[in-house]
Amino acid sequence: MSKKQLLLLSSSTVHGFSYLEYAATDIKEFLQKNQIKEVLFIPYALKDHGSYLEKVKNVFTKWGFNMTGIHESKNPFEAVKSAKSVFVGGGNTFLLLKTLYDHKLIDLIRSRVMNEGLIYMGTSAGTNIATKSIHTTNDMPIVYPPSFDALNLVPFNINPHYVDPEANSKHKGETREERILQFLETEHGEVVLGLREGSTLLIEGNKAVLKGLVGARLFVKGQKPQELEVGTDLSYLMDEKECLPECCPKKKVCK
């Protein structure tokens, strides 16, 4: 069994950087380390697949990688089956997940990543669907997928584009933190990693490290939220055993 390799980005654009520029080094090192030259792009989170492919392909081509779009294939299933790496773009998470279900790609992608070493890169919605479920997406449910269950490549949830509460804000609506804490009150919620704009999670087998420009915020059921710095080892989150709230995240005495 090949160990899984994932690079999960909070977003594609960060203030002060061009498209994917902030993560250029991490993406190139990740692909080169795994000897990847060809990338299959999955643009299902947006409606205009052709324009989306062109935008992303221009960047990857400059970096020295070849890219094709899954929508260019007559058989999306076979395209994923023969791919060595995939990049799943951002957009609407509900639309992305529904389209993957429609093409019967959920089980195939998961199996290939977990058992065959398919290299997985995702950003925003592409990061959301790499987790247990899409319960912690920020998107509007513009379509209805058959399930909120996602690829489950990592055994926790992620909230891309995590935004910290502003102390002097005049906005009186719920903060992102409040929404995540509400999720943790449900039977579905155990752990949520809030990835701020510019933060990235690198996963190699059962090892996970926070990378990127800024830190992240970790929410664990029954605990106060934690601040995480770039470089933090998050490998303990990859343990799929159910951990007691009082022992997570670092004092592991699991069921």
CA–CA gap between residue 226 and residue 217 (Å, rounded):
6
Catalytic residue among 11, 12, 85, 139: 139
Q: What is the span of the domain harbouring residue 200?
A: 5-238
Under the banding of pLDDT at 50, 70 and 90, the label for residue 172 is low
The answer to whether position 247 is within a domain reads no
Q: Answer yes or no: is 244 within a domain.
A: no
Confidence (pLDDT) at 20: 97
In a domain, 252, yes or no: no
Kindly state the percentage of the chain with pLDDT values over 70: 93
CATH number at residue 53: 3.40.50.880
Residue 58 lies in a domain: yes
Q: Confirm whether 109 is domain-assigned.
A: yes
Sheet holding 5-9, edge to edge: 66-69, 38-42, 85-88, 119-123, 5-9, 199-204, 207-212
What does the mean pLDDT of the chain come to? 92
Torsion of CA 185, 155, 102, 137, to 10 degrees: 50
Tell me if residue 139 is catalytic.
yes
Residue-wise pLDDT for 134-144, tens only, equals 999 999 999 99
250, part of any domain: no
User: Is 26 noted as a catalytic residue in this protein?
Assistant: no
Out of 124, 133, 135, 199, the active site residue is 124
The answer to whether residue 219 is domain-embedded is yes
Q: Is 251 among the domain residues?
A: no
* Domain total in the chain: 1
Active-site residue, 124 included: yes
Pairwise CA distance, residues 152 & 156, whole Å: 8
The alpha carbon dihedral of 175, 177, 183, 186 has a sign of negative
